[in-house]
Structure 1
Amino acid sequence: MIWENTSYLWLLLLLPAVIGALWWRGRQMRTQRAQYFGEELFASLRRGFWPLANRFKQISLFAGLFFLIISLAGPKIGTEVREIKRQGVDMLIALDLSASMNAEDVRPSRLEKAKFEINRLIERLRGDRVGLVVFTGEAYLQSPMTLDYSALRLFLEIADTNQMPSSATDFQAAMATSMEAFEALEDDDSNASRVLLIVSDGEDHGQQYKETLEELTSQNISVYTLGVGTEDGTTIPIYEEGTNQLVGYKRDGSGQVVTTSLQSETLRRIANLGNGDYYSIERGNDGIDAFLARIDELEKGEFSSQEYADYKNQYQWMGALALFFIVASVLIPSYKHQK
């Protein structure tokens, strides 16, 4: 059981206080009465008085007040099934988890900045279904399309460059996995706009993605890109796992320190071919805000009705009991009819 307004429950403390006060007042009156009247005289003055009915009358009144307070508190017991409908767009976020996303030309790092901005995006969504794909040389569906933004944030929080078997980047893998996720949607007849947002620094070491990108656009999936990093470039730090101490910088096969920079041209090309737009995040957050404005302009679709269980309000039953006992306290006579 849960309560809608728990503050009303404090009124229950008044009931024993009132009962105690009435009992004390009655005792005082009986003491004072005994000084002036005998029991026989007082009984004759109250001819026809019905003690048992009077007791029930008082009990009914306090029972009615008790259930009235319970009703005001709004008890919820059991569950009920409700139907809800959502309108929005279908959006997949493909997050690059390659080693270059650990670069710190954007603080605290490209990956952490990207996750922060994606969280800002999720906070401002209203009724849009969102999923998460993580990719390097391979791609995985981290979270399928969902309206549960809290669950999506948990999947985003655990996304890390160490979870992927490859440290390279392959946009073709991310696009192919995203296309499979869109095809898996049950309500294919929805007229909602479909959007793929690729969040990356643009470095691509994989297969040619043009053919897969054309397949996405042929299915009316718009591909947007969000670049994270700076074009000046920087090194890729390596931290000791557990202590988080800097132990060096990533090197190539010849032992040279690797330098990584934002490859905006690659991301612009993907966005142009994918009927989308390119945005960038360097030190500010203008990129994600511009993308949000674009999402608001897209066609919204009505998703399948969803059923969910919720606690069922039971205040009306408590209110009915309160009314019954209060009316009973009024109707119960304190005196018997004397012939």
Structure 2
Amino acid sequence: MIWQDGLYLWFLLLIPLLIAASWWYNKQLNEKRISFFGSDLFERLRSGFWPLGKGIKHIAIYIGIGLLIIAAAGPKLGTEVREVKRQGVDLLVALDLSASMNAEDVKPSRLEKAKYEVTRLIERLDGDRVGLVVFTGEAYLQAPMTLDYSALRLFLNIAETKQMPSSSTDFSAAMETASEAFGSIKEDKGGNAAKVMLIISDGENHGESYSSALQQLRDQNVSIYTLGIGTSSGSRIPLYGDSGSLMGYKRNEDGEVVTTKLQPDVLRSIAEEGNGEYYEIRSGGSGIDSFLGRLDELQQGEFASQEYADYKNQYQWLAAIGLLFMLFGMVFPKFKIRD
């Protein structure tokens, strides 16, 4: 048995106090009556009085009060075992952590905006298994496929451009890591679910051709969607010190300030070849919303089946019985009916 609010059970201590107070009051009242009328006259005045009936009357009322207090505590008795199945798609988010993602043409920055939109994505997932890959010139599986969205948020929050050894972008590295992640999924758990990779980047690619890695994902029946972040006008890449103060802007080998722009052609080409779609994130979140709508249309697989005990509330019965006891106590006679 468990309780909805066990604190109410402390009120049961009032019942002994009520019994003691009632006994003391009746004792004092009887003494006063006898002193006024005398014991013989008092007994004749209350002729037909039934002490046992009075006791039954009080006991029934106290039992009723006790049951109402227990009912207020919300007892839960018995269990019903239910099976809950979690269904969804296998989604792997690949987040670009190159230096250009620090550009502030999308406020507060491309990276922070991307992380915010991925957080919105996670909050709206329901039963989908999701993982996180971070990449620049190299790629790492930041979070393996999981149904634990809270843990995924933690991995997402600590993703920063400073954690990566390279500041360039190589899509092939991200695709190869994604291929390994999808390949490690056990087929006996949701093997029929759609496999989706979502690449979030500004589109700058400094790596080698990604054709081979993309084809490998296609062979694994992975659909590749891309989400471009940035503006066509572009922005400089700020450099901040450890204290958070602006130190300057990123420059190229010739000493010129670098301007980074959204390059949608590369991302659009990846999506087309990967049997997916291309979206954009600018000031709003329409891109991630459109992707979510598409995600709902994909084939769902069963990832987890869990049994849990559902406790049944039983306060209604106790409350009803308690009221019946109180009603019985109020109507029960304490005087015998004479013929």
**In which range does the TM-score fall when normalised by the shorter chain?**
0.7 to 0.9
Write the mapping of 1:112-191 to structure 2, written as runs, cut at 5 A: 112-186=112-186, 187=188, 190-191=191-192
Q: Give the % identical residues.
A: 54
Q: Distance in 2 between matches of 1:153 and 1:2?
A: 33
Moved more, 227-236 or 148-157: 148-157
| Per-residue Cα deviation, 1:206-253 (whole angstroms, up to 9, x for no partner) | 232111110101111000110111122221001122x31111111223
| Per-residue CA distance 1:150-201 (angstroms, 9 max, x = gap) | 3322222221111222212121111111122222222355321110000001
State the alpha-carbon separation in 2 of the partners of residues 96 and 164 from structure 1: 10
Cα deviation code 1:276-325 (max 9, x no counterpart): 111111223222222122212222222231356x7x63744995699599
User: Could you say if the C-alpha distance between residues 137 and 82 of structure 1 is closer, same or farther in structure 2, counting changes exceeding 3 Å?
Assistant: farther
- The residue that corresponds to 2:18 in the other structure is 19
Q: If the length of structure 1 is used for normalisation, what is the TM-score?
A: 0.79
Q: Which amino acid aligns with 2:120?
A: R
CA distance change for structure 1 residues 52 and 270 in 2, over 3 Å: closer, same or farther? Answer: same
Determine if the alignment matches structure 1 residue 103 to structure 2 residue 106: no
| Alpha-carbon distance change, 20 to 98 in structure 1, aligned in 2, over 3 angstroms | farther
**Deviation, structure 1 residue 13:** 9.3
Pairs aligned (count):
329
- Between 1:144-153 and 1:15-24, the stretch displaced more is 15-24
The DSSP-based 3-state class of the residue aligned with 1:177 is helix
Which one-letter code corresponds to 2:204 in the other structure? E
Provide the C-alpha distance between the structure 1 equivalents of 2:249 and 2:16, rounded to a whole number of angstroms.
73
Q: Please state how far the C-alpha of 1:148 moved relative to its aligned partner.
A: 2.7
Is 1:61 the equivalent of 2:59?
A: no
Q: Which moved more, 1:206-215 or 1:51-60?
A: 51-60
Judged with a 3 Å threshold, the aligned counterparts in structure 2 of structure 1 residues 29 and 276 are, in CA distance, closer, same or farther, namely same
Matched, 1:313 2:328: no
Q: Could you tell me which amino acid in structure 2 is paired with residue 19 of structure 1?
A: L
**Residues 1:183 and 1:4: Cα distance change in structure 2 (over 3 Å):** farther
Aligned residues of 1:195 and 1:222 also touching (Cα < 8 A): yes
Deviation larger for 49-58 or 272-281: 49-58
Show the counterpart of 2:283: 283
Name the structure 2 match of 1:83.
Answer: 83
| The 10-residue stretch of structure 1 (209-218 or 132-141) with the greater mean CA deviation from structure 2 | 132-141
Instruction: Find the aligned partners of 1:125 and 1:189 in 2 and give their Cα distance.
Output: 16
The runs of 5 or more residues in structure 2 that have no matched partner are none
**Counterparts of 1:16-55 in structure 2 under 5 Å?**
19=18, 23=22, 26=26, 29-30=29-30, 33-34=33-34, 37-39=37-39, 45=47, 49-50=51-52
Which deviates more, 273-282 or 179-188?
A: 179-188
**Structure 1, residues 58-109: CA drift from partner, whole Å, max 9, x if none?**
5433332222222xxx3569x9975311222111111111111000111111
Q: TM-score, normalised by structure 2?
A: 0.79
Indicate conservation of the 8 Å contact 2:237/2:260, yes or no: yes
Q: Which amino acid aligns with 2:227?
A: L
Matched letter for residue 132 of structure 1: L
Q: Distance in 1 between matches of 2:62 and 2:148?
A: 49
CA contact under 8 A between 2:75 and 2:313: conserved in structure 1?
yes
Task: Structure 1 unaligned segments of length 5 or more: list them.
Answer: none
Mapped partners of 2:306, 2:113: distance in 1: 33
Question: SS in structure 1 opposite 2:296?
Answer: helix
Q: Distance in 2 between matches of 1:251 and 1:40?
A: 114
Cα 1:48–1:31 change in 2 (3 A) is: closer
